[in-house]
Structures are given as structure tokens and as C-alpha cells.
A and B are shown apart, each in its own frame.
Chain A
């Protein structure tokens, strides 16, 4: 410890004690996304001229500096810091960093700005993104070493980091959406990175389109929230003291004086007096509203359902919560806040199902494996796909308003978890197994969020980021070593040829399977425990079902993970002699990140999860939930599921040293699982085909036939027909015309004479 102190004494003060530079870090929060963006610009604009080494270095610097700065900002918010203007240090629990840098859209009553906000939740996410991101950047230098479009790859990767950081750091829903779409774009570009392969380009497009379906829901959810609360900011605007900005103001809640309540004469008087008064700060944000509504309805269960959309707390003598200028009142006549908020949450959740690959919009993620493997690790496992979980957690205060909404989230999450786990059982492509595993784990995260303990979901996001990134990078190492072979049926026996990859991946597999005391066990067990607790405390039978699905999925998870391990690393090599000789362990630039991630997969859970600190830490809006880590029944069941799955897989795939039993390829369930229950085929063929056919038929029917032929030509034809009648008058014989003239003249003469 003394050594550490001695070492740090050489560091400048702004690194040693970032908390004292609180305002400075708040002002420079923008550096976190800026570093990768600069990296993107350098690599993107100079992609022809930049050398390979420089390109990789720039990208890693962009990511690494962002990580460095994120840590400093995080500690600045977390450590002791100076109270504005007083010069004395005070220990704050966590003071969120918040700064608004520039105006953006100001139209009518709608306003949003470029502002960044680093609280516990976004702070943890930022650390994971930049930390895991940097490791994957470093790994990529090895993995993509032979690729022609090296600079382009790193440009995209840095752009992704930029968008992802914008997503988590944005201080309003619109900026979150910017990042949301931005990561979607990078995902599109990176999945289709090898665009010369049309199938890969198509996979990228599929990802983008599926995400867009969700994005529409997201947009409508934003609209609804804006209509109800008139703002899209999460928190109230930062307060300016001098030149520095300090964090947003919280609500002021006046608790009633108990003596006054007791002294009240009548029952109704007492009820009125016992209500808390909530005062919102100037320019309140969404959290202020959520907190105010919660405070007003505290202890009244579903009473929030009765708050009308034009509620005015001042009129009711309960503070200054004023929704009387509410726009949603026009949109949902007779609606209540609870209805509008529940609708908004469901719509937002549609967005989350797109981004986080939940049923029914999950189908893009398995295809997304067309991208380079580090991309799968970073985007399609560790960070981007968890954006939906982040968003649900970010707006958890609203989701928690309605148990029904939470139940929807839970059902979708659990169904996805079991569905994807079943699909993963039989896949033969090593990356596809991991892809379905990711979908399944994301389901767990939503299941965790659905319990109302949103921090749990983020806990699983963090641990999942470690072990899934590890597994993907390990798979990448295997693919690299096998010279672009992804089919597990042609692998086997790699544990001696690639020992580091094998051992690190084994740790990752244990974590994924939920072997006790690994990172995955802490988070998954906690989630299932909370679901069980919820079921036990009478929230409805559906939670028992969800718990059962979760346990079965856990069993499947353990099975397919160790099936993957068994097929890849055990037994004898099935690659063929010629290929077998060329198998090699990956270079250190790839294996070192693996080892670091393996350490985190092993101890990450303990570190962050002991006493479930992290979940509490990132759930500032709902701190009150009990930890269920020690729930005996749950402990027994999850351990049984994990070990049972592992045991069965080892029995089937490892025992004989090679593919002992041919897989029951004729079995109905096997075929169903292998074909992913025909869902993806339905999307790819039926939906796409119907869409194309429909639009072509519509084009012929409406545009060509109805409008052009019938209406446009019809009108022209009508004119032509009338003209055809009239043309007969024109005989061409002069005398006839002359007769016409004479007749006309006589007619005029007649009129004139008649008067």
C-alpha cells in the first residue's frame, strides 16, 4: 500500500485526487466520446495514407484515452470533492457529473441540447464500454492484422465507441437516441465490413432494418414521454456557479410534520396533511417528474393510476408538480399519467427488443456474426446489444410505475432466454452458438430488470460483458488459429495446440454456465433469486413460470457452452491433416486481452457483486431491494442446472475423446433447434418475399393500373373522345365553312334586329 502511495505521489494532483477537480471534470466530460471520434476522423480521412501500425495505434489511443478519462471522471464523481465556492472538501456519496455544451434542436416547445451526464449508471456503463472496448481494440490489431481495410476497420470501431458513449452519457432521450442509431449504423457497417460478400452485406442490412423497427417504437415512446412531461431531459439543467456547472438539482420533498398530522381534527384533514409536498426544481427533468409522482403516491400502490394528465399539485396543495400544460391530454383524452407512461414504456421496450435482440426482433443478431469476430465481441455481445437494458434501467423509474409493464418485460425476457438457449443447443458454427447465447443472456437481463431491481440487469450486463467478450475473443482466436474455420464439426482437440485460448475460454464458459463463484454465477443467480422472491411474495403465477423458464434456460446454457468447449477443444482434431499442421496459438496481442478478461470473468462478480453493491450502486432511483444471493432453493436449483448441464455436455462430447455419438440429426427437436424453430426462415423468406411481392403488385395495381391508366389516361381518353365527336364538324370543304359563317351572321343579324 505504501508502495502504491509512493508511486502515485509522482502523479499530478488532478489524477491523484480527481474529486477535487470535480467542476473541471464535469466541463471536460465531452473528452470521453471525443477521443474515439478523433480516432475515427484520423483513420477515416487518412485511410489510404496511414500506415498499419499508426492506424491501430491511433484507434487504441482513442479508446484507451477515453477509458483513462472515464476512470478519472468516475472517480471525480465518486471521491471527496470541493463544495462549490467554499474551498472545503466534503465526502459525497456520488455526485453526478453533468454539463450542457451546446444547443441542438429548439423547435416550438421542444428543446434538447448536447449535454452529457455521468451518474452511477452511465459511469459504470462507460467504464465497461471503454475498458472492454480498449481490450478488443488491442486484440483487433492482431486479429485483423492481415486485412486489407485495416484503417477502415479501426475507423468504424472508433466511431462505434463514440456513438456508444454518446448513448450512455447523453443527458436526454434524444441524445440517447442519437447514440442508439449511431451504434446501429456502426453495427451495419461492421457486419457488412467485408461487403464484397453479398450475404454479409445483407446481414448488415438486416440488422439495421430490424433495429429500425424497434427504433420506431423508441421514437413513439419518446413522443409520449415528451407529450406527458414536456421535456426529454433526464435531469434538470445543471446549475451554473461562476463558470462551472454543477449537477442538477433534485426535488425538494417536504415531509409532513407528524405532530401536525396527529393534531388534525378530522380523518380527512389528517389524510390531507399526511401527504408529502413535492417541489420540482426549475426546468425539471424526467427523473424529477418520476420521483415526484412516486413521492406523491408513496404507499398508495396503484393510486398513481388516478393522477390525471393535467394534474396540478399546486392546486391540490401538494407542491408544484404541474402537468396542466400537458400536451398528451390532447392525444389521450381522459387518460391518466399511469396510462400514458405505461404506453410510453411499452413503446420504448419495443425499441429495446430491437436493439437488444429480444423476441420477436432477435433474428438479426445471429446473422450479425458475419462481421469480424472482435466486432461480435464488442458490439454484439458486450456493449451495443445491452443498450436496450441500459435504456430500460435508465428509465426504470417509469417502468416501475406499472407491474403489468414489468411483467411484459419479464415475459419477453424469459421467453427469449429459453428460446435462444434452445436454438443454441445444436448450432455447429462456433460463433452462432455464442450469438444465441448472447440473445439468451440478454433475456436474463430483461428478466432481471422486470423484477424492478434494475441494477441487477446492469450487474449482469457488466459480468456478461466480461465473459461473453472473452468467449467471443476466444472463438476469434480459435478461428484465427484454424485459418477462418468456424464449423465446430471440423475442430476438436485444440486444447493442446492453443492452451492459452483453451484455459481462458474455459474460465469464460464456467462464468457463462454459472458455475458458483464465477462472475456469471453472481449476477444470474441474483436475478433468478429475485424472480423467485417476487414469485413468492405473490406478484402472480406468471413469475413462477418465468422462474422455471429461467432455470431451464440456465441448464441449456451450461449444456451448449460445454458442448462448444467439448467439440472445439477436446477429442481429436477433425480438421484434416493438412490443416491440422497449420493450427497455431494466437500472438500475445490477442492472448493478453483474453487473459485480462478471464481474470475479470473469474473475480468480476466478487469484486462488483459482493453484497450486491453494484446493483445498489447503479439503481439510485430504487435503492430498496433485498439481495437474494443466499436464497437456498434458488442456490440449489441454479447450481444443479449449471452443473447438470455441464455434466451432460461433458458426458456426451468429451468422454470418448472425439465425437463419440453422432448427434441425433433425425430427431424432431434437433431439427427444430437447428433450424431455429423456423422463425428466421419465416422472416427471411416469407416476410421479405411478401414485402417485395406486395410492393411490386401494389406498384402495378395502384400506380400503373389505377392512377396512370385509369385516372390519368382515363381523363385524357375522355377529352379525346369528346374531341372525336367534335372533329366531324371540320369537313375541310370551304363551302361548308362559308355556310357556317353565313348562318352565324344571320343569327347575329337576327339577334340584333330582334333587340
Chain B
């Protein structure tokens, strides 16, 4: 049933691989940069919205790392002849997308509710959980 979709997948990847040679290191560098930017945003920004966006950025960075490793496993499978072992990375990526969407929805809802109540989304003023 899935046959026709997967038909020629190997050929296609070969062709793409030649076209854009995959480099794990550059992917991870990009992910690291994104993560760092996100982390900086979480730590430094005072606007909750921006903090949320930064969190999303971090999530995306992680996702990128997962996908990159999954891709790297394809190459590994080619080289070693062992069966492909990168599915979990892709699955993680898909999960993170779903999760990020949910998180964004809930988070934004909270932020909006909070803004309606307090009229502010400055993290310095949101400290009602102070012990």
C-alpha cells in the first residue's frame, strides 16, 4: 500500500545527497546557536510573550538536533550496512512539534488571561509564587 510512495526513495536521497551534501556538524552548530539564542531570550527578556517565543526557539533547536542525528543515522546505515536506526529521532521531532503546538496554545492562553487580569506581562511583576 505504501509501495508507490516509497518507490525510488533511495534513488531520490542519493540524488539529494549529492546535491546538498549532509553535514552533521553544521546542523548541530545551527541547533546550538538557536538554542543559545532561545536560552538567552528566556533568561534576559522580561516580556512573557518573548520568553515563550524563546522557549519555542529552544524546542526547535532541539528538534533540529534530533532530525540531524536521524539523518546522520541514514548515512551510517549506508556505510556500515547495518539496518537504519534513526526512526526515534524523527519520532521525537514529530512529538516535539505536537508538544510545542500544545504548549504554545496553553502558554499563550495563560499569558492572555494574565494580561487581562493584571494588565501586564512583565516577568518582574509576575511573582505571586514567591515563597
Interface residues of A (CB under 8 A from B): 726-735, 738-739, 742
B131–A730 contact, CB under 8 A?
Answer: yes
Closest A residue to B48 using CB positions: A734
B130–A732 contact, CB under 8 A?
Answer: yes
B131–A738 contact, CB under 8 A?
Answer: no
Contacts A733-B124, A734-B51, A734-B123 given; does A739 touch B43 at CB 8 Å: yes
Could you tell me which residues of chain B, from 53 to 110, have a CB within 8 Å of some CB in chain A? none
Given contacts A730-B131, A731-B130, A733-B130, 19 further A-B contacts (CB under 8 A): A728-B131, A730-B129, A730-B130, A731-B131, A732-B126, A732-B128, A732-B129, A733-B124, A733-B126, A734-B51, A735-B42, A735-B43, A735-B51, A735-B123, A738-B42, A738-B43, A738-B51, A742-B39, A742-B43
Residues of chain B contacted by A729 (CB below 8 angstroms): 131
Could you tell me which residues of chain B, from 21 to 56, have a CB within 8 Å of some CB in chain A? 39, 42-44, 46, 48, 51
Residues of chain A contacted by B18 (CB below 8 angstroms): none
A733–B127 contact, CB under 8 A?
Answer: yes
Closest A residue to B131 using CB positions: A730
Q: Closest Cβ of chain A: how far from B44's Cβ, in Å?
A: 8
Contact of A727 among B39, B44, B48, B131 (CB under 8 A): B131
Residues of chain A contacted by B131 (CB below 8 angstroms): 726-732
Contact of A732 among B42, B51, B127 (CB under 8 A): B127
Q: Closest Cβ of chain A: how far from B131's Cβ, in Å?
A: 3
A733–B43 contact, CB under 8 A?
Answer: no
Residues of chain A contacted by B126 (CB below 8 angstroms): 732-734
Q: Closest Cβ of chain A: how far from B16's Cβ, in Å?
A: 34
A731–B39 contact, CB under 8 A?
Answer: no
Residues of chain A contacted by B124 (CB below 8 angstroms): 733
Closest A residue to B45 using CB positions: A735
- Interface hub of B46, B127, B129, B131 (most chain A Cβ within 10 A): B131
**For the complex, what is the distance from the CA of A731 to the CA of B129, rounded to whole Å?**
7
Interface residues of B (CB under 8 A from A): 39, 42-44, 46, 48, 51, 123-124, 126-131
Residues of chain A contacted by B44 (CB below 8 angstroms): 735
Closest B residue to A731 using CB positions: B130
**For the complex, what is the distance from the CA of A738 to the CA of B39, rounded to whole Å?**
9
**For the complex, what is the distance from the CA of A728 to the CA of B129, rounded to whole Å?**
11
Q: Closest Cβ of chain B: how far from A576's Cβ, in Å?
A: 86
Residues of chain A contacted by B127 (CB below 8 angstroms): 731-733
Interchain Cβ contacts under 8 Å between A and B, 11 examples: A730-B130, A731-B130, A731-B131, A732-B126, A732-B129, A733-B127, A734-B126, A735-B42, A735-B43, A738-B42, A742-B39
**For the complex, what is the distance from the CA of A295 to the CA of B78, rounded to whole Å?**
114
**For the complex, what is the distance from the CA of A645 to the CA of B129, rounded to whole Å?**
96
Closest A residue to B39 using CB positions: A742
**For the complex, what is the distance from the CA of A742 to the CA of B123, rounded to whole Å?**
17
Closest A residue to B44 using CB positions: A735
B123–A733 contact, CB under 8 A?
Answer: yes
**For the complex, what is the distance from the CA of A738 to the CA of B127, rounded to whole Å?**
14
**For the complex, what is the distance from the CA of A731 to the CA of B125, rounded to whole Å?**
11
**For the complex, what is the distance from the CA of A84 to the CA of B43, rounded to whole Å?**
110
Residues of chain B contacted by A730 (CB below 8 angstroms): 129-131
Q: Closest Cβ of chain A: how far from B117's Cβ, in Å?
A: 16
Residues of chain A contacted by B129 (CB below 8 angstroms): 730, 732
**For the complex, what is the distance from the CA of A726 to the CA of B131, rounded to whole Å?**
9
The 9 closest A-B pairs by CB, nearest first: A730-B131, A732-B130, A732-B127, A727-B131, A732-B129, A738-B42, A734-B123, A733-B127, A738-B43
**For the complex, what is the distance from the CA of A735 to the CA of B124, rounded to whole Å?**
8
Residues of chain B contacted by A733 (CB below 8 angstroms): 123-124, 126-127, 130
Q: Closest Cβ of chain A: how far from B21's Cβ, in Å?
A: 29
**For the complex, what is the distance from the CA of A734 to the CA of B43, rounded to whole Å?**
8
**For the complex, what is the distance from the CA of A730 to the CA of B127, rounded to whole Å?**
10
**For the complex, what is the distance from the CA of A733 to the CA of B46, rounded to whole Å?**
10
Closest B residue to A726 using CB positions: B131
**For the complex, what is the distance from the CA of A735 to the CA of B129, rounded to whole Å?**
13
Closest A residue to B55 using CB positions: A738
- Interface hub of B46, B51, B126, B130 (most chain A Cβ within 10 A): B130
**For the complex, what is the distance from the CA of A734 to the CA of B124, rounded to whole Å?**
8
Closest B residue to A738 using CB positions: B42
Closest B residue to A733 using CB positions: B127
**For the complex, what is the distance from the CA of A732 to the CA of B131, rounded to whole Å?**
7
Closest B residue to A739 using CB positions: B43
Closest B residue to A745 using CB positions: B39
**For the complex, what is the distance from the CA of A729 to the CA of B51, rounded to whole Å?**
21
Closest B residue to A734 using CB positions: B123
Residues of chain A contacted by B42 (CB below 8 angstroms): 735, 738
Q: Closest Cβ of chain A: how far from B61's Cβ, in Å?
A: 13
**For the complex, what is the distance from the CA of A726 to the CA of B129, rounded to whole Å?**
14
- Interface hub of A726, A729, A730, A735 (most chain B Cβ within 10 A): A735
Q: Closest Cβ of chain A: how far from B43's Cβ, in Å?
A: 6
Q: Closest Cβ of chain B: how far from A745's Cβ, in Å?
A: 9
Closest A residue to B51 using CB positions: A734
**For the complex, what is the distance from the CA of A41 to the CA of B129, rounded to whole Å?**
73
**For the complex, what is the distance from the CA of A728 to the CA of B127, rounded to whole Å?**
13
Q: Closest Cβ of chain B: how far from A154's Cβ, in Å?
A: 75
**For the complex, what is the distance from the CA of A739 to the CA of B127, rounded to whole Å?**
15
Residues of chain A contacted by B123 (CB below 8 angstroms): 733-735
Q: Closest Cβ of chain A: how far from B53's Cβ, in Å?
A: 14
**For the complex, what is the distance from the CA of A569 to the CA of B104, rounded to whole Å?**
112
Q: Closest Cβ of chain B: how far from A170's Cβ, in Å?
A: 72
Closest B residue to A723 using CB positions: B131
**For the complex, what is the distance from the CA of A113 to the CA of B128, rounded to whole Å?**
76
**For the complex, what is the distance from the CA of A376 to the CA of B68, rounded to whole Å?**
108
Closest B residue to A727 using CB positions: B131
Residues of chain B contacted by A726 (CB below 8 angstroms): 131
Q: Closest Cβ of chain B: how far from A339's Cβ, in Å?
A: 70
Closest B residue to A741 using CB positions: B42
**For the complex, what is the distance from the CA of A38 to the CA of B50, rounded to whole Å?**
95
**For the complex, what is the distance from the CA of A730 to the CA of B128, rounded to whole Å?**
10
